[in-house]
Structure 1
Amino acid sequence: MEIQKGAELCFQQLLNNSCRKPTLHWSKAVLLYIVLFCISLITVALNLLVIISVSHFRQLHTPTNILLLSLAVSDFLVGLLLMPLEIFRNTTCWVFGDVICSVYWYLTGNITCASTGIIVLISVDRYVAICDPLHYPSRITVARVKLSVCLCWFYVIFYVTLYLKDFLIKPGRYNSCYGECVLVINDIAGTADLVLSFFVPITVIIVLYMRVFVVAVSQARALHSYVTAVGLQRSLNQTNKSELKAARTLGVLVVVFLASYCPFYCYTLVEENVVNDSSAFFVVIAFYFNSFLNPMIYALFYPWFRKSVKLIITLQIFKLHSSDTNIL
């Protein structure tokens, strides 16, 4: 947030080394807090519902839903930890010390990269399911999906540890005064992160989903020709609806992902990879906003999710054998 002249110091006893307290007009501050914390709470609630649904009901223990569960866990942590801490970091003095600051940035890297990696796994899952449906049951199993998720997290932990090695060894090295928690990314590390965390996942997702889209449209057109030949108008209408739904869903997946992630990486390039000012706050929140949208895109559109939410809200899941409920 913008710091005004004459603002109070974060630590009055450190006149020469203390940061100034960020100041906002009270009306703007209240509105900002309400909006952002509501987004954070909704993110936590929606992803928690996904976690409970997939974990509790046995029918939902499928490879695709295991990926949705993994994504929901990472997005749940974004809403529970990263969003509130990011709001606190940019609207008031950082009072938790340099070690917690380094932990915050480390968790930020791990959770957001894991979320991206799982979205890539979901795109691979959908690619095999639609483009090679006959071999899908044998190639995409629950055991293989669980292994892929574990490998994804191990890779993310290794990558982020290597990426933030210097910052973890010397916490607070980029702080210009006490009461600040910032991260400065050099050109080499920033370029590597741009390639590994943005361009590669984006390329994989776009290529796979475009392939899925082409296959889905070609199949719909083939069925369109068939039902036209046999004169089944009702089937024709269903085919048209399926084609439009597939196109719309795939478009939403790609556009939302790009809209959430592009601003952050574009900003780091323009601002020489420095994440330490008020402008970056809104870019980072947009970066996290993808975690708010993920459960809506990947879960709310599924009928089983709406049914499971009703059972959860009405506490039916506490009944004996409720896990065996027919949820599909």
Structure 2
Amino acid sequence: MEVIDGAELCFPQLLNTSCRKSALPGSETVFLHTLVFSISVLTVALNLLVIISVSHFRQLHTPTNILLLSLAVSDFLVGLLLMPVEILRKTSCWFLGDLMCSLYKYVSFIIPSSSVGDIVLISVDRYVAICDPLHYTTRITERRVKLCVCLCWFCSVFYCSLFAKYGLTQPDRYNSCYGECVIVISYIAGAADLVFTFIVPITVIVVLYMRVFVVAVSQARAMHSQITAVTLQSSVTLTTKKSELKAARTLGVLVVVFLLCFCPYYCVSFAGDNTLNSSSTSYGLSLLYLHSCLNPVIYALFYPWFKKAVFQIVTFKILQPGSCEANIL
């Protein structure tokens, strides 16, 4: 019997302190691993296409696309790092050690918080573009956007270091046995995360987009009244307005998807569940990570330039000299 019990342990040589292996049936474990691996590969591939597109083609070097690039980088890291490690943590023994568990905890806070920051910056960008278009080019420049993106990532790293305060110095603080990676968030840290990573950003996003929606509707009505204009200048103006309205609608969909994916996790957090090992939190966390796979799908559906850029990439035309100057808009 001891041999059998030892075979069920993560570390058979540690009979009294080792955790037991997952109780899930083998077929169910294989299914979960296959499903998460597939979503992870899809997330990495789609976001890598966005990163290559915006980085390579000069026409896409705009302030808005720089923000989308930053968002794609964080989504890429979710698919590459967080998804595979999370399924390993939930369905298998943790063989990576306590320090790697703490580092995973640290990174798992940095990447989603940077995504939230990018969504807020995108909302601000669309707000200025729609509500104050005459000053957009002077207020929203590539240099300023790049600076804001760097500050967003720096603030995420600094802010999330507060969550790892005890994790790196006491990596096995919450582990009950060898072979598990338990992530527990203190009440104060959970409340701070709820406020600064969800409530405040959501408030800013909703307020900005309510204003954008009102202005967009009024501009759409104005466009209908000016549709018979015959001068070239008015035609260009209407085309520009139409392009800005379409971009605002697309990014509005992006924000709605963000809300749907992030709300379940933070609702559970608001209810007082402070451990990332519970089933309810795992469900919310899965939706939060799934958000990283949905963003590039939105680009594919609403951005014609993304489809053209993907065609250039998969056909290896980007390897040709001067391909970065290709017209894909």
TM over 0.5, yes or no? Answer: yes
Structure 1 residue 90 displacement after superposition:
0.4
Deviations 1:249-287 (A, max 9, x none): 465333311111111111223353121234433321111
Alpha-carbon separation, structure 1, partners of 2:214 and 2:278: 43
Partner SS state of residue 29, structure 2: helix
Q: For residue 156 of structure 1, what is the amino acid of its counterpart?
A: S
Q: For residue 274 of structure 1, what is the amino acid of its counterpart?
A: T
Deviations 1:201-250 (A, max 9, x none): 111111111111111011112333455999xxxx9xx9xx9999689646
Alpha-carbon separation, structure 1, partners of 2:7 and 2:199: 41
- 2:295 alignment counterpart: 294
> Per the alignment, do residues 307 and 125 of structure 1 end up closer, same or farther by CA in structure 2, a change over 3 Å counting?
same
- Conservation of the 8 A alpha-carbon contact between 2:182 and 2:277: yes
- 2:308 alignment counterpart: 307
> Per the alignment, do residues 229 and 48 of structure 1 end up closer, same or farther by CA in structure 2, a change over 3 Å counting?
closer
- Conservation of the 8 A alpha-carbon contact between 1:7 and 1:22: no
- 2:265 alignment counterpart: 264
Structure 1 residue 314 displacement after superposition:
0.7
Does residue 219 (structure 1) correspond to residue 219 (structure 2)? The answer is: yes
Structure 1 residue 156 displacement after superposition:
0.7
Partner SS state of residue 135, structure 1: helix
- 2:30 alignment counterpart: 30
Deviations 1:65-115 (A, max 9, x none): 111111111110000010000011101000000000011111111111111
Partner SS state of residue 162, structure 1: coil
1:204-283 mapped onto 2 (5 Å cutoff): 204-227=204-227, 249=250, 252-283=253-284
Q: For residue 268 of structure 1, what is the amino acid of its counterpart?
A: S
- Conservation of the 8 A alpha-carbon contact between 2:268 and 2:280: no
- 1:138 alignment counterpart: 138
Partner SS state of residue 304, structure 1: helix
Alpha-carbon separation, structure 2, partners of 1:229 and 1:315: 43
- 1:200 alignment counterpart: 200
Q: For residue 140 of structure 1, what is the amino acid of its counterpart?
A: I
Q: For residue 322 of structure 2, what is the amino acid of its counterpart?
A: H
Partner SS state of residue 211, structure 2: helix
- Conservation of the 8 A alpha-carbon contact between 2:127 and 2:212: yes
Deviations 1:127-162 (A, max 9, x none): 111111110001001100000001111111110012
Q: For residue 275 of structure 1, what is the amino acid of its counterpart?
A: L
Alpha-carbon separation, structure 2, partners of 1:35 and 1:322: 36
1:13-92 mapped onto 2 (5 Å cutoff): 13-92=13-92
Gaps of 5+ in 1: none
Stretch deviating more after TM superposition (268-277 or 205-214):
268-277
- 1:104 alignment counterpart: 104
> Per the alignment, do residues 132 and 248 of structure 1 end up closer, same or farther by CA in structure 2, a change over 3 Å counting?
closer
Q: For residue 280 of structure 1, what is the amino acid of its counterpart?
A: T
Alpha-carbon separation, structure 2, partners of 1:31 and 1:272: 27
Partner SS state of residue 20, structure 2: coil
- Conservation of the 8 A alpha-carbon contact between 1:116 and 1:201: yes
> Per the alignment, do residues 229 and 77 of structure 1 end up closer, same or farther by CA in structure 2, a change over 3 Å counting?
closer
- 1:325 alignment counterpart: 326
- Conservation of the 8 A alpha-carbon contact between 1:213 and 1:250: no
Partner SS state of residue 109, structure 1: helix
Alpha-carbon separation, structure 2, partners of 1:115 and 1:243: 23
Q: For residue 221 of structure 1, what is the amino acid of its counterpart?
A: R
Q: For residue 38 of structure 2, what is the amino acid of its counterpart?
A: C
Q: For residue 208 of structure 2, what is the amino acid of its counterpart?
A: L
> Per the alignment, do residues 258 and 143 of structure 1 end up closer, same or farther by CA in structure 2, a change over 3 Å counting?
same
Identity %: 67
Count of aligned pairs:
316
Partner SS state of residue 83, structure 1: helix
> Per the alignment, do residues 322 and 229 of structure 1 end up closer, same or farther by CA in structure 2, a change over 3 Å counting?
closer
Alpha-carbon separation, structure 2, partners of 1:39 and 1:23: 24
Alpha-carbon separation, structure 1, partners of 2:28 and 2:228: 59
> Per the alignment, do residues 122 and 7 of structure 1 end up closer, same or farther by CA in structure 2, a change over 3 Å counting?
farther
Alpha-carbon separation, structure 1, partners of 2:16 and 2:325: 64
Q: For residue 308 of structure 1, what is the amino acid of its counterpart?
A: A
Deviations 1:280-317 (A, max 9, x none): 33321111111111122245421111111111101111
Structure 1 residue 168 displacement after superposition:
2.0
Taking only aligned residues, the RMSD between alpha carbons, in angstroms, comes to: 2.5
Alpha-carbon separation, structure 2, partners of 1:279 and 1:272: 8
